[in-house]
Structure 1
Amino acid sequence: MESQYTLLLLQKIIDAQAAPLPGLTRRDVWLPAVPGKALAVIGMRRAGKTSFLWQLLADRHAQGTPREGLLYISFEDERLAGMQASDLDALVEAYYRRHPEWRDQRHCTFFLDEIQTVPGWEPFARRLLDTENIELFLSGSSAKLLSREVATSMRGRALEATVTPFSFREALRHAGREPGKPPGHLTKGEQSQLDHDLGAYLQHGGFAEAQGLDTRSRSELLRSYVDGVLLRDVMERHNLSQPQVLRWLVQQLLGNAAGAFSINKFHADLRSRGVPVAKDTLHQMLAHLEDAFLLHSVALATDSIRRQQVNPRKVYPVDTGLIALFDRSGKPNTGHALEVAVLHTLLRSGAQVGYVLTPAGCEVDFHAALPSGEQWLVQVCLDLGDSATLQREVHALQDARQQWPQARCLLVAQQVPPTVALPPGIELHRASHWLLEGRP
């Protein structure tokens, strides 16, 4: 018996395979390479997951796979409303009806976007992997299923690739100003332009739709992104009964980007204002915000779980452009924005990241444990022109190195004097170069 969606799905297949490949800014997203696994493309709303699926499709086409072997289908189509898992077989049958020579004979690739809109899709996806000669990519985000949960719902049959707002290099590429040579080979004029572009990136952020907008339009756009996350990914999904508390929490977290945050102190502040809320509820709200990719919290770098639990966490927004929306000081928060950008560069490299607080009371912004086993201590600074600032940052790295003697000590600064005297073992990196290269 044919599904009521068969003809519509067949038309969507015809349209998708006839559509020209979109010209999109190329993303530098790491992909796990494990045969037999689906790949779940995850990330915050509007970060570019759908665009990345099209990039993957275009890559396979450029590598020699004809368009008939590549299928992109978005289930975010009102004509597919009410579709059930039992109707998903109609997609496979419609595809092979159109391309019978591909069944069992050739390896095709399906890109299923917003798949979570179909209830019970998970067994269908697992069966595709088991019974058809199909490579499978999945993506989606909704109040029903966060993008992070697409992979976990596959019960070990899918791995994740995380799409974030543009990195600094990707933002330059989008603007047509990505350097065609190593940063150390730039002329003085090119270096000045690069530093100017970094300042703009730290202020405006990396969401694709926000690039090139005026300040008011960009603020309204980014605010709509945050509101969408709060309403659909947190309030609706978890049926929160105290939405105002959630908004106060977000204001506190994003209004103090790169700052320390304690649930206990925030809970005490709410109680002093007569707001009844359970401490566990606040912990859950913070976890929900992280699950929705709106922010990332960094714990103390230590092997002691207890020390991690009793010390505050440092909280960073998903994008530097969000800082201005919530910072009430009215001043450019460039130093914290740079710290946010450095953190996300470390996370993109696959590092496990914590912050350092030494027994002597010195703080280092990040301890990063890389997949290679290498360890970095990273101190971020806006301007090293002041000798006292330089001495303080270097001293913190030297103190932290006593705990991690094998770690490389990196000092990443936006403004670097022409000559800087550093003790042995301290590496100085210009921020525009370090962010552009993704690592030293």
Structure 2
Amino acid sequence: MLSMEERHRVLLIKQNPWWQDKKLSLPEFERALHERILKYVGYKQIIAIVGLRRVGKTVLVKQILQKLDAPKNNLCYISLDDIDFQKYNTAEDLINYFLEFSDKSKVRYLFMDEVQKLPNWADLLKVYYDTEENLKIFISGSASLELNQYKETLAGRILTFYLPILTFKEYVRYFGLEYEISRKELFREYDLKFAEKKERYKALFESYLIKGAFPELLEIKDEEFIKKYIKESVIEKAITDIARLSGEDEKIIYELLRLLANSNARLFEIVNLSGILKVNRNLISYYVNLLEKSFLINVAYNFTASVAKQVRASKKQYSAHSSIVIALLDYPFEIINTEVVGHLVEAAVAGNIDKTAFWRTPQKDEVDIVVKEKERILPIEVKYQSYITNNDVRPVLKFCQKFEVKKGIIITKDQLEKRDIEGTEILFIPAWLFLLLSGI
């Protein structure tokens, strides 16, 4: 029978093979967030990485661990998702074992994966942060519900990084295509840089809509497997986390997510959802908030100068990725060849931009996406079709006139063009190209 100390070592060696000079087998592909986090390794603050399930947090954590210049026994990884850990529930004992046998004269690195599964984790880490010298802590979590509760306990002691679903830029980079081009070069060098690869980019964009959110699916082509993976490993797991952490009804939350998926990239009303599900509207509002905090949906507000009006007005919601909609509603992959694809593309564009809004007037003039950065405002209308009419452009022109904006964008299927219309510069840009651009 193993002693307590021996059992701790066995559990840790299982998760830390480098202690026995074994190498980790990790993908070469690195997320864009990887380099950003490395810049903060030298600071004392705890680094927290949050995001939806299966977006690559564990791989990212291990890739960072592998790059650290430290003695092997000063690197400790603990997965709180591990069955053996859950059986013995000995996180504090394992941490203490690591700290006891590591080299205290040098920096020690502690990585805790799926930390939200540890009760009172924030209080525990606060003690280690405040009392241990030469200790750098990294944590990751799939649900921000409980992670958000750390803000008071760990105030000033933690830096949080969000790992999103794969962006289209990352997706393209994974398949080895170059895409560096700025807006200034766009209309001058488009044919030169993209003529031979345009169809390849378009094909990648369509596959991105179907499965491009999750790294483990990038080489998979089987439709049934992809939908089953997303439904069981992403959606159902995330909703189970929500129900466990909030104490709310898992079945109702799942049905609400299905309803929202069915109206992806459209306005929604809490009172309507309440009526359909026969659940109190305050509870529905709370559930929507939980789904957003768990990274399954994004909520956009009507663009207005009044914050109070934003809160009261109708809102728009986007599923975190079109593949989630496809899996939830069991759409065939051929859905990208139907009119539904317009909503999927709008969600993809919104999902690749940080903090978007939309614009809708009482007269029902509407612009799909509004981006505001400091004093800069940019209206974006998604028209994923081959031919763009004057009526398609009209809402963007009205927005630009109302808010004295000089530029607007129309997202198209194929068309690339720049026009001056009524004193406003309108850029027509294919969806796949827009998602590759920087400095718009």
Deviation at 1:123, TM superposition (A): 3.2
Q: Secondary structure in 1 aligned to 2:197?
A: helix
Deviation at 1:84, TM superposition (A): 4.8
Instruction: Report what 1:198 is aligned to.
Output: 205
Paired letter, 1:75: L
Paired letter, 1:72: Y
2:45 aligned with 1:37, yes or no? yes
Q: Secondary structure in 1 aligned to 2:408?
A: strand
- Picking from 255, 262, 269, the partner of 2:262 is 255
- Picking from 367, 370, 376, the partner of 1:367 is 370
Distance 1:374 1:133, change over 3 A: farther
Deviation at 1:393, TM superposition (A): 3.6
Instruction: Report what 1:325 is aligned to.
Output: 327
Distance 1:420 1:90, change over 3 A: closer
Deviation at 1:66, TM superposition (A): 5.9
Q: Out of 219-228 and 205-214, give the one that drifted further.
A: 205-214
Q: Tell me the TM-score normalised to structure 2 length.
A: 0.82
Q: How does 1:49-88 map to 2 (within 5 A)?
A: 49-58=57-66, 60-61=67-68, 67=72, 69-80=74-85, 81-84=87-90, 86-88=92-94
Within 1, Cα distance between the matches of 2:54 and 2:16?
27
Q: Tell me the TM-score normalised to structure 1 length.
A: 0.82
Q: Out of 189-198 and 424-433, give the one that drifted further.
A: 424-433
Instruction: Report what 1:23 is aligned to.
Output: 27
Q: Secondary structure in 2 aligned to 1:93?
A: helix
Q: Residue by residue, what CA displacement relative to the aligned partner does 1:321-372 show, whole Å, maximum 9, x if unpaired? A: 122234588743221121111112112xxxx3211124653211122223x6
Instruction: Report what 1:427 is aligned to.
Output: 427
Distance 1:240 1:319, change over 3 A: same
Instruction: Report what 1:219 is aligned to.
Output: 227
Contact 2:47–2:158 (CA<8 Å) still a contact in 1?
yes
Instruction: Report what 2:159 is aligned to.
Output: 159
Contact 2:145–2:290 (CA<8 Å) still a contact in 1?
no
Distance 1:329 1:66, change over 3 A: closer
Contact 2:113–2:141 (CA<8 Å) still a contact in 1?
yes
Q: Secondary structure in 1 aligned to 2:137?
A: strand
Q: Secondary structure in 1 aligned to 2:344?
A: helix
Within 1, Cα distance between the matches of 2:415 and 2:136?
48
Q: How many residue pairs get matched? A: 412
Contact 1:151–1:160 (CA<8 Å) still a contact in 2?
no
Q: Residue by residue, what CA displacement relative to the aligned partner does 1:169-226 show, whole Å, maximum 9, x if unpaired? A: 222233x233265484424221121112112212333212222231111111111121
Instruction: Report what 1:304 is aligned to.
Output: 306
Instruction: Report what 2:10 is aligned to.
Output: 8
Within 2, Cα distance between the matches of 1:181 and 1:293?
29
Within 2, Cα distance between the matches of 1:25 and 1:345?
19
Instruction: Report what 2:122 is aligned to.
Output: 122
Q: What is the RMSD computed on CA atoms of the aligned residues?
A: 3.1
Paired letter, 1:134: L
Deviation at 1:438, TM superposition (A): 4.9
Deviation at 1:420, TM superposition (A): 5.8
Identity of aligned residues (%): 20
Deviation at 1:303, TM superposition (A): 3.6
Within 1, Cα distance between the matches of 2:146 and 2:204?
31
Contact 1:320–1:340 (CA<8 Å) still a contact in 2?
yes
Q: Unaligned stretches of 5+ in structure 1?
A: none
Instruction: Report what 2:133 is aligned to.
Output: 132
Deviation at 1:253, TM superposition (A): 0.2
Paired letter, 1:427: L
Deviation at 1:40, TM superposition (A): 0.8
Within 2, Cα distance between the matches of 1:259 and 1:283?
17
Deviation at 1:147, TM superposition (A): 6.6
Within 1, Cα distance between the matches of 2:23 and 2:140?
21
Instruction: Report what 1:48 is aligned to.
Output: 56
Deviation at 1:168, TM superposition (A): 1.1
Instruction: Report what 1:293 is aligned to.
Output: 295
Distance 1:403 1:287, change over 3 A: same
- Picking from 330, 334, 349, the partner of 1:342 is 349
